[in-house]
Structure 1
Amino acid sequence: MGELDVQFADPTAIDPPAGWAELVRDAPLHPVWDWSLVRTMAAARDGAAVAAVVRDGDRVAGLVHARLIGPGRSVADVECPGSMSLPGVALPGMPLPGVALPGDPATGPDPAGTGRHGGPLAAVVEAFEAALRRERGRRIRAVSYRQVYAGALPVLARGIGLVRRGDDVAVLRNRFADYEQYLAALPGKRRRDQGRLVRQTDSDPGVTVHFGQVPEDFDAAAFHALAERTGERNQRRRWPPRRRWPPQFHAAQAALPGARLLRYADADGRLLAATITFDHPSVPLAGPWAAVDPHEGGRAGVWYEHFARSLRWAIESGRAGYIAGKGLMAQKAELGFEAVPQWTVLRRLAGR
C-alpha cells in the first residue's frame, strides 16, 4: 500500500464522491453505506458530518463516515451512516462482525513493507486522522471510533487514550443445512413456539403479512412514528440516552437497494408491526423494528415470530449469517444468536 490520499466530500451533496458508490457495490459493503443515508443524516444534522474517500493511487482503499459531536462539534464520532452495528471505517474485504470472511484487513503486517503493523486498517486510519488535522486544525480535538470489533481493537487502541466496552451485537452464524436443522438446535419450548407463532399468524384472517421488496404503498411516516414509540417503550436505561432518528432517515432506509420489508397489518390496513432487513450476499442486517404494544391492540409474540420468517429466508437462501443488532440479548440467545463484543475507542487528535 502506497501513500494514501484522503478526499473529503460534501456530505449534503446529491451525488456521492467518485469511488464511493463503486466500493459499496463491488466490495460489497452493506447497503447502509449508501450515499443516500450519508446525505439524509448530514441534512438532519445541519451538515455536522464528515465523509471521506481514502485512495491508494487509482484504487479506493476505504471510506470513513463520522458525525461531529460534543462542545463546538469538537469530536469526530466515526460510525456507519446507516447502522449502529457496523463500524464507520469500511475497507474492501473487511470482515463482518462474528462471521469469518477471507482477507481480514484489520490485522497483520503492512503490505507496503514499511515495518509498521496493522495492515490496511491502520494505514487508512492514520491517513484519515492526518488529513482531518490538516483540514480542520484544532477544531477537532478527538476521534471516537464506534463498533470496533476484536480484530480491529489492537490497531485502534494502540498507545492511545480511552477504550470502552459497548453493547454486544447479536449474530447468527448459519451452520445449518436448512431451516428445520436450525429449529432443531433451539431449546425445545422456543422451537415449538417459533412454529406455533407462524402458524397462528398465517391462520389469522385479521392479519396480512408482506415479506419482500418494499412496496410503493409503504407508509414511511407511520413506520417511523411506530418505531420511535417502540424504541421508547423498550429503552430500559437512562444512559446512554436512546438515539433518535429523523423521519426522513427511515424513508431513506426503506428506499435502499436490497431493502426487504416484513410488515404485519390488520384487516383495516393499520400497521401492527414492521422491520426492514438490509440484504447482503453474505450477512444480512436487521434494521429498525416497530410494533404496536399488545396492550394497545398489537399482537403478542410478533417479535419472536418476525425472526422465524427472517431467519428462514436467510438460512434457506444460503447466507453465512444474520446480524440482529443490539439489545434483548437474552431473548436473541434463545434464537441461536451469539453475543459479539464491540468497543468504542477515543483517540486524541489535536496536538499529536
Structure 2
Amino acid sequence: MKVELLDPRHDPEPGDWEELRRAAGQRVTWRYDLLRAYAWAAQAPVMLAVLRREGRAAGAVAASLRAPRLRRARYAGPPGGSRAPAGVVDVHAPGNRSQKGWWWRDEHDPELLAAYLRAVRRALGPGWRSTVWREVSAGEEALLPGPLRLRLPTAPLARLALPWSRLDDWYAVLDPRRRDSLRRRAKTFAAELSVRVGPAHDLVGADEAARLRAENDLKHRSRLSPAPPLPLPYLETLIGSGESVALTYRDGRRLLGLSLILDHPGWPVCLSWGAVPPEQGGRKHLYFDGYVRMIEWAIGSGRRGLVLGKGQAEVKRDLGAELRPSSALAVPL
C-alpha cells in the first residue's frame, strides 16, 4: 500500500486522478482544478491523499490542516511554507458539506485508512495529535481506524428519493396545505419571472453567482470561525465544468435567485442557494419554490433522487426528504 500526500495549490495533478474520480462516481467538486481553486482560498492548508494498492489508485482523503493561531489568518499561506508543529487533521469534502472527505473506487477499505493515518503521522510529526472525521453516518464509526473517540452530532443530511414519473405524484405525498401553497406560488413566479433550469454555463455568469453566494454566506457564516466565500476562480471552474446545473430566477436581466446543483446520473447534490433579499428588490418564498423546480428537473431527467444538503431540516422533511443522522468523530493519532 502507498499513500501519496499532495498540496493541490502547487503539486501537479496525478495522472490517474480523473480516472479514479470518475470510476468512484465522485462529483465535480473533486476535480483537481476545483480542489486547487478551493485550496488557494482556504484558511488552512489542504492536504489531499491518493491511496494506492499495488500501484492502482483505490481511494482518496481530503483534509484541512488546522493549527492554533494567535490571530486568524484569512488564507492558508504560501505553498511550501513552514508547517505548524502541532494541530488537528480535519477530514472533510472541500467546498461541499453533503459529502464525506474520504471515498473509494470500490468498497470501503479500512486497511488503506490505517495506512493513511500512518503516512499523516510521518509527514506532520508528533505535534499533530488527532484526526476529525466529518459526516460520519450511522454504522460507519466501526470502519474508521483508531481506538478512543469523541463524537459530536452534526446537522442531518436530507435526501429525497424520487420514485415518481410526474411532479404531481410528488405533490400528492405532501401535506395538503403545503401542496396548495407551493402550487400557488409556482404559478405566480412562472407568470411574473423568468424561471429556468439547465446547464449552469448557459444560465449564469460566475461574477453574478459569486455576488449571490457571498451574500448568502454572510448570513450563515459562523462568527467564531468565519470562512471566506468560495472564490471567483472556483465558481468560474464549477459553472464552466459541464457537470453543474443552475436554477435561475430573473426579473428582466436581474438575477434574483440561484441554486447550483452538482449533477450526477443518480443523486445530484443541491450545493448552494442564494437570493436577493425582499428589502432589496427580491421576492419572498423563492427558497421554497426552488425545491419544486429542482425536484421537477430531477424527476424529468430520470434521477433516482436529490441530495438536499444540510440545514432547514424540518422544511426538507416536510417536502418528503429522509434525514440521515451524521456526526463528527475525533480520533487520536
TM tier, smaller: 0.7 to 0.9
- Correspondent of 2:45 among 44, 48, 51: 48
- Correspondent of 1:327 among 311, 325, 328: 311
Alignment match, 1:10: 7
Contact 2:41 2:231 in 1 (8 A): no
Give the superposition deviation at 1:344: 0.7
Contact 1:33 1:82 in 2 (8 A): no
Give the superposition deviation at 1:240: 6.6
- Correspondent of 1:162 among 122, 127, 150: 150
The whole-number CA distance in structure 1 between the counterparts of 2:45 and 2:219 is: 29
Contact 2:201 2:242 in 1 (8 A): no
The whole-number CA distance in structure 1 between the counterparts of 2:11 and 2:2 is: 23
Equivalent positions of 1:143-222 (< 5 A) are 143-156=131-144, 159-204=147-192, 207-215=193-201, 218-222=204-208
Contact 1:14 1:39 in 2 (8 A): no
Contact 1:263 1:274 in 2 (8 A): yes
Report SS of the residue matched to 2:112: helix
Alignment match, 1:141: 129
Report SS of the residue matched to 2:274: strand
Give the superposition deviation at 1:279: 0.7
Give the superposition deviation at 1:124: 2.1
- Correspondent of 1:75 among 88, 103, 106: 88
Alignment match, 2:102: 89
The whole-number CA distance in structure 1 between the counterparts of 2:214 and 2:51 is: 35
The whole-number CA distance in structure 1 between the counterparts of 2:284 and 2:150 is: 42
The whole-number CA distance in structure 2 between the counterparts of 1:289 and 1:14 is: 32
Contact 1:5 1:54 in 2 (8 A): yes
Q: Which amino acid aligns with 1:259?
A: S
Distance 1:10 1:230, change over 3 A: closer
- Correspondent of 1:224 among 210, 223, 233: 210
Report SS of the residue matched to 1:230: helix
- Correspondent of 1:258 among 243, 250, 262: 243
Structure 2: gaps of 5 or more residues: 69-83
Give the superposition deviation at 1:192: 1.8
1:26-75 per-residue CA deviation (whole Å, 9 max, x = no partner) reads 22112221112210122123771101110111322101111111314621
Distance 1:316 1:245, change over 3 A: same
Give the superposition deviation at 1:310: 0.6
Q: TM-score, normalized by length of structure 2?
A: 0.87
Contact 1:157 1:345 in 2 (8 A): no
The whole-number CA distance in structure 1 between the counterparts of 2:43 and 2:150 is: 28
Contact 2:41 2:228 in 1 (8 A): no
Q: Which amino acid aligns with 2:182?
A: Q
Alignment match, 2:18: 21
Alignment match, 2:81: none
1:270-300 per-residue CA deviation (whole Å, 9 max, x = no partner) reads 2201011001111100011110112221111
Alignment match, 1:309: 293
Give the superposition deviation at 1:78: 0.8
Report SS of the residue matched to 2:309: coil
Alignment match, 1:343: 327
Equivalent positions of 1:25-40 (< 5 A) are 25-40=22-37
Alignment match, 2:265: 281
The whole-number CA distance in structure 2 between the counterparts of 1:164 and 1:77 is: 14
Q: Which amino acid aligns with 1:284?
A: P
Alignment match, 1:245: 229
Q: Which amino acid aligns with 1:209?
A: V
Q: Which amino acid aligns with 1:220?
A: A
Contact 1:34 1:256 in 2 (8 A): no
Aligned residues: 316
Give the superposition deviation at 1:15: 4.5
- Correspondent of 2:116 among 105, 116, 128: 128
Sequence identity percentage: 28
Distance 1:56 1:157, change over 3 A: closer
1:79-130 per-residue CA deviation (whole Å, 9 max, x = no partner) reads 112311111001124xxxxxxxxxxx34xxxxxxxxxxxxx1x122101101
1:105-159 per-residue CA deviation (whole Å, 9 max, x = no partner) reads 34xxxxxxxxxxxxx1x12210110111122222422211111112322222762
Q: Give the alignment's Cα RMSD to 1 decimal.
A: 2.2
The whole-number CA distance in structure 1 between the counterparts of 2:53 and 2:153 is: 32
Alignment match, 1:115: none
- Correspondent of 2:280 among 293, 296, 304: 296
Structure 1: gaps of 5 or more residues: 94-104, 107-119
Higher strand share: 2
Distance 1:256 1:47, change over 3 A: farther
